[in-house]
Structure 1
């Protein structure tokens, strides 16, 4: 068996799966594969921690496996961590298949133990046959290009030193050393998709290519390299077309749509937020429909005139704030206001969207700052009817004229005195607040960025 040990040893070194002295945690089901990996590690002088999950799917068989693993750990004096969970209940709650739920439970537990107890690597005993099954399973289910790379040799903390071995080699090695292990009777149940591929699909394909495991392993390696290149290109493009504005991400439509792989690049960006391929197709097909919205959990993608905007729901957005007459500083989301009372206008005063001068004696305190709402209106500063009287305009129309995106509109606040809007903060003052000769006290309000703010 020295030849197979050397094969694993060289594979581990070439892939740099772990360094000497690192603490290793082995996922030990009690089956042939994981027990052989434990045997190999011990012969290499490595004493790993052991982690076992009882999925409560196989009745007394699962309990017997747990007892077997416990006896192995005790006899070897190795630390053992056991987790028991009702996988069927978890699958129903999370709307997953049993296979998906078991995988989620397993890796969540393994990572928890690794972080809690200082293990640098998590080892699983997947071999080339598992890799081949995974590629075919992904191919049938339609996982996209990334799924065709199969099981990665290393993925964050998880490493798989047996991926270099064929199943036949694992069986031969186990028999040669007289390995004791548990048999999982559900492995022959072809109601499970993986078992159907294992027992019926792969044997047929191997008649066409007896070296199918090695072929798929090599194809997976090539696919991972191609995926790496694709990821690097996607990151390069996204860096050019994306702009961060506060908590929102603006994605330039025109620049991205010029790229031949625009769909793939956009999906790489959106998929981690929960957007589906069907939603992506709708986003691309309707990219000219400004205002169109797609939602994934608390995330939203809004189609604007020139950009797609990735943002979040603002369920806890700012509601209102009262300003008393003696207030001098007001802190708001993304900004702060500085208030000063003057007896006369400064000689060099000028109006701006971020600075207003109001007739203080006309104000009804407390003043109110609130988000704008549909139906709000004011008489915009400098806008007149042909008769010379101030012209009324809806706030919504002013925001549209400013070409604000939906997230930007959601952050717009108005300053009110009684029921009258005096100022759309950062946008326009009401004409009726204009300072004239003979005005008494003057309230100057200046908008400033909040310290550390990215909004203004």
Structure 2
């Protein structure tokens, strides 16, 4: 993981030499290509020109986002696009579909865009946050009651590269003005309408007048908090965490949290949840700590924003699972309200996709008796829908019918997966729960050439 850069500010070195040295140090910490987040402001335009001059081969693309908030936002995005193309760099530009009304909404939309672009280029996002941004963020976190984890602020270990974090705005200004680089000053930078503006223009200057060196003391606090977070993350790296390919789901062996104290769990749970983009507040942390020792297999709790923590058993034994709520465009988290998918037709017309599941038609019947496969006669009327709590299915072991929940439990299907699990009905009767069981009404015996065979595959996120 990257470590925060030392403070490079000095009056004894030329601005260009300073920034080039800072950039070289930052780039040594990663081999990935970079997507530059450029807003059109002075600091980000400095990053754009510095990378184009000293490390153009490391730039996968320049990403600029028009928040749709007025003329400035559009003009800034246009400036970035024009300058990046002039420098020979690939540009990805997007305009918000709806204009946000808060700092949080703007940030969520922007980061959804940046992360989507980075995934597309298999790259890492690089931003132009400075030492001044770090001080402001620490103050804002402190005002909101953050603990040590939050006070690391922008210096926290993560997947975002911040080359300018050890550089002040004043030092960037010296270089930008000396090079006569084009940029636009965001009118919001002078506004007191939002918290960051009030911290920048009112609170920090007041603290510095009363206690000179206040900002430097905050930076030291942030560095200690970041070091502490790195130690926690390093510990978790050896704890057997398993994260899904999409980064939306994580499992951790239950023993990792059971073998420590409540205080230890209060440290580990926020770090564990943070691995899948779930931020735990104080209430969420207390709930997670209490849930750890409840010993209720199959139970779950819902956190703020719709994220969940559940407990179940998998191939490794008892695990806790953290799930981020359904994501929109890979960014802002919210629970989806879309209706569950369903299909009503004949077996030969089964859809290839059903939510996060795929139905794949097979050319021949499978060699083994596989619960993920079924064969049904041509023309069989079928319905595919999500599981419902009252569903029963007749099997060889229970010819009178048995609740599907029993089969879910025996197959170790987590409670949170069940509501979206497909059930196939033939002639109105449940005959197949993919991967779980097939019913007596499913004519899947071998030697029936008139059968159409399907395999159902789950898309693990």
TM-score (norm 2): 0.56
Report the CA distance between 1:15 and its aligned residue: 3.1
- 1:294 aligned residue: 302
Relative to structure 1, the CA distance from residue 319 to residue 106 in structure 2 (aligned partners, 3 Å threshold; closer, same or farther) is closer
Runs of 5+ unmatched residues, structure 1: 324-331, 340-353, 355-365, 384-389, 431-442
SS in 1 for 2:13: helix
Q: 1:108 is matched with which residue: 113, 125, 131?
A: 113
Cα gap change, 1:257/1:199 in structure 2, threshold over 3 Å: closer, same or farther? same
Aligned to 1:14: 25
1:199 to 194, 198, 201: 201
Please give the secondary structure, in 1, of the residue aligned with 2:230. helix
- Partners in 2 of 1:176 and 1:424 — Cα distance? 68
**Alignment counterpart, residue 100 of structure 2, candidates 87, 91, 97:** 91
Q: Which whole-Å CA distance do the structure 2 matches of 1:223 and 1:188 have between them?
A: 30
Distance (Å, rounded) in 2 between the aligned partners of 1:266 and 1:333: 37
CA contact (8 A) 1:415 1:424 kept: no
What is the rounded CA distance, in whole Å, between the counterparts of 2:459 and 2:123 in structure 1?
39
Q: Please give the per-residue CA displacement for 1:242-276, whole angstroms capped at 9, x wherever unaligned.
A: 99xxx997655455222232244334334526575
Contact 2:241 2:251 in 1 (8 A): no
Contact 1:135 1:149 in 2 (8 A): yes
Per mean C-alpha deviation after superposition, the further-off stretch among 366-375 and 219-228 is 366-375
Equivalent-residue separation in structure 1 for 2:270 and 2:177 (angstroms): 47
- Residue 133 of structure 1 corresponds to which residue in structure 2? 136
- The DSSP-based 3-state class of the residue aligned with 1:190 is coil
Rate the CA distance shift 1:238–1:368 in 2: closer, same or farther, 3 A: same
Pairing of 1:359-398 with structure 2 (within 5 A): 395=403
1:265 equivalenced with 2:274 (yes/no): no
Please name the residue that 2:4 is paired with: none
Given that 1:110 and 1:122 are in contact with CA atoms closer than 8 Å, whether structure 2 keeps it comes out as no
The question of whether the paired residues in 2 share the 8 Å contact of 1:114 and 1:122 is answered with no
Cα pair distance change 1:108/1:316, threshold 3 Å = closer
Equivalence map 1:236-385=2 (5 Å): 236-239=238-241, 252-253=253-254, 256-260=257-261, 261-271=264-274, 272=276, 274=278, 276-277=280-281, 278-279=283-284, 281-286=286-291, 287-289=294-296, 291-294=299-302, 301-303=309-311, 308=320
Asked if 2 retains the 8 angstrom alpha-carbon contact of 1:26 and 1:51, the reply is: yes
SS of the aligned residue for 1:136 comes to helix
| Aligned counterparts of 1:378 and 1:398: Cα–Cα separation in 2 | 10
The 1:144–1:320 alpha-carbon spacing in structure 2 relative to 1, beyond 3 Å, is farther
Corresponding residue for residue 450 of structure 2: none
- Quote the residue 2:229 is aligned against: 227
- Write the distance in 1 (CA, Å) between the matches of 2:392 and 2:34: 67
User: CA RMSD for the aligned pairs?
Assistant: 6.5
TM-score using structure 1 length: 0.56
Shift of 1:299: 6.6
Q: Distance in 1 between matches of 2:250 and 2:259?
A: 19
Deviations 1:114-160 (A, max 9, x none): 967x9987462x32212211221222234554432232499646442
- Shift in alpha-carbon separation, 1:252–1:106, aligned structure 2, 3 A: closer
The answer to whether the Cα contact below 8 Å between 2:118 and 2:124 also exists between their aligned partners in 1 is: no
Cα gap change, 1:288/1:190 in structure 2, threshold over 3 Å: closer, same or farther? same
Q: C-alpha displacement at 1:206, in angstroms?
A: 1.9
Deviation at 1:211, TM superposition (A): 3.4
2:69 matched residue in structure 1: 57
C-alpha distance in 2 between matches for 1:414 and 1:45: 56
Name 2:212's counterpart in structure 1: 210
- Cα 1:414–1:218 change in 2 (3 A) is same
Summarize the alignment of residues 18-37 of structure 1 with structure 2, pairs less than 5 Å apart. Answer: 25=36, 27=38, 29-31=40-42, 33-34=43-44
Aligned length in residues: 395
After superposition, give the CA deviation of every residue in 1:166-193 in whole Å (9 maximum; x if it has no partner): 63x4455666677775444432211211
